[in-house]
Amino acid sequence: MTAYPELSGSADAIEEKESPSPMQPYFNRELSWIEFNRRVLDEACDTHNPLLERVKFLSIFASNLDEFFMIRVSGIKQQISAGVQKPSPDGLTPNEQMAAIRRALMPLIESERVLLMKDLLPNLAAQGIYLLEYPQLNEQQRAYLSDYFDRRIFAVLTPLAYDTSRPFPFISNLSLNLGVVLIDRQRGELFARVKIPEVLPRLIQLPNELIAANDDVPPERRYAFVWLEQVIEASLAKLFPGMEIVEAYPFRVTRDADMEIEEDEADDLLSTIEEGVRQRRFGVVTRLTVEELMPEHMRNLLMTNLKISNADLYTVLGPLGLSSLMNLMSIDRPDLKDPPFTALMHPALANQANIFDAIRQGDILLHHPYQSFAPVIDFIQAAAEDPNVLAIKQTLYRVGSNSPIVRALMHARENGKQVTAVVELKARFDEENNINWAKAMESVGVHVVFGLLGLKVHAKLALVVRQEQDGIRCYVHLGTGNYNASTARIYTDVGLFTCRPDITADVVELFNFLTAYSRQRSYRKLLVAPVTLRQRMVEMIQREARQHKQQGGGHIIMKMNSLVDAQIIDELYRASQEGVRIDLIVRGMCSLRPGVPGLSETIAVRSIVGRFLEHHRIYYFYNQGNEEVYCGSADLMERNLDRRVEELFPLEDPALLRYMRDTLLETFLRDNSRARCC
pLDDT in tens, 579-630: 999 999 999 999 999 999 999 999 999 999 999 999 999 999 999 999 999 9
Contacts by residues 479-483 (CB-CB < 8 Å, ≥ 24 positions apart): 479/376, 479/633, 480/615, 480/616, 480/617, 480/618, 480/631, 480/632, 480/633, 481/368, 481/615, 481/616, 482/397, 482/398, 482/399, 483/376, 483/394, 483/396, 483/397, 483/399, 483/403, 483/405
- Tell me which of 453-462, 548-557, 583-592 is least confident: 453-462
- Residue 535 CB neighbour total at 10 angstroms: 11
pLDDT at 218: 87
For the cut 90, the answer to whether the pLDDT of residue 464 exceeds it is: yes
Q: How far apart are CA 319 and CA 250, in angstroms?
A: 8
Q: What is the CATH number of domain 347-520?
A: 3.30.870.10
Beta bridge partners of 130: 224
pLDDT at 165: 82
pLDDT at 4: 53
pLDDT at 271: 54
pLDDT band at 433 (very low <50, low <70, confident <90, very high): confident
For the cut 80, the answer to whether the pLDDT of residue 269 exceeds it is: no
Of the ranges 80-94, 205-219, 651-665, the best mean pLDDT one: 651-665
pLDDT above 90 coverage of the chain, percent: 78
pLDDT band at 61 (very low <50, low <70, confident <90, very high): very high
Q: How far apart are CA 569 and CA 591, in angstroms?
A: 8
Mean local confidence (pLDDT), 161-188: 90
pLDDT at 624: 96
Mean local confidence (pLDDT), 501-506: 97
- Residue 667 CB neighbour total at 10 angstroms: 9
Q: Would you list the domain boundaries of the chain?
A: 158-204+228-320, 347-520, 528-677
Predicted model pTM: 0.90
Instruction: Note the pLDDT tens digit of each residue in 104-143.
Output: 999 999 999 999 999 999 999 999 999 999 999 999 999 9
Alpha-carbon torsion angle 183, 186, 191, 192, nearest 10: -100
- Torsional sign, CA 546, 550, 551, 553: positive
pLDDT band at 23 (very low <50, low <70, confident <90, very high): low
CB 393 within 8 A of CB 511: yes
H helices present in 161-247, as ranges: 228-234, 236-239
Cis (ω within 30 of 0) for the bond into 107?
Answer: no
Q: How many helices (H) and strands (E) in the chain?
A: 21, 26
Helix (H, G, I), strand (E, B) or coil at 671: coil
pLDDT at 220: 85
Across the beta sheet with 188-195, the strand order is 160-162, 188-195, 176-184, 244-255, 285-291, 313-316
Q: How far apart are CA 287 and CA 306, in angstroms?
A: 10
The helix-helix angle for 29-45 and 51-67 (nearest 10°) equals: 160
pLDDT at 164: 79
Sequential DSSP letters for 389-402: EEEEEEEES---SS
The residue ranking higher by pLDDT, 178 or 517, is: 178
Q: How far apart are CA 490 and CA 661, in angstroms?
A: 22
For the cut 50, the answer to whether the pLDDT of residue 261 exceeds it is: no
pLDDT at 1: 54
For the cut 70, the answer to whether the pLDDT of residue 10 exceeds it is: no
Average pLDDT, the chain: 90
Amino acid in position 337: K
528-677 sits in which CATH class? Answer: alpha beta
For the cut 90, the answer to whether the pLDDT of residue 150 exceeds it is: yes
Instruction: Note the pLDDT tens digit of each residue in 197-227.
Output: 999 999 999 999 999 877 788 888 999 999 9
pLDDT at 7: 54
Mean local confidence (pLDDT), 310-320: 95
Q: How far apart are CA 649 and CA 462, in angstroms?
A: 13
Please state the separation of Cα 519 from the chain's center in Å: 33
pLDDT above 70 coverage of the chain, percent: 92
pLDDT at 608: 92
pLDDT at 407: 94
For the cut 80, the answer to whether the pLDDT of residue 2 exceeds it is: no
Could you confirm whether domain 158-204+228-320 is CATH 1.10.8.60? no
CB 113 within 8 A of CB 316: yes
pLDDT at 82: 86
3-state SS, 87-104, equals CCCCCCCHHHHHHHHHHH
For the cut 80, the answer to whether the pLDDT of residue 432 exceeds it is: no
| Equal CATH topology for 347-520 and 528-677 | yes
| Catalytic residue list | 458
CB 210 within 8 A of CB 288: no
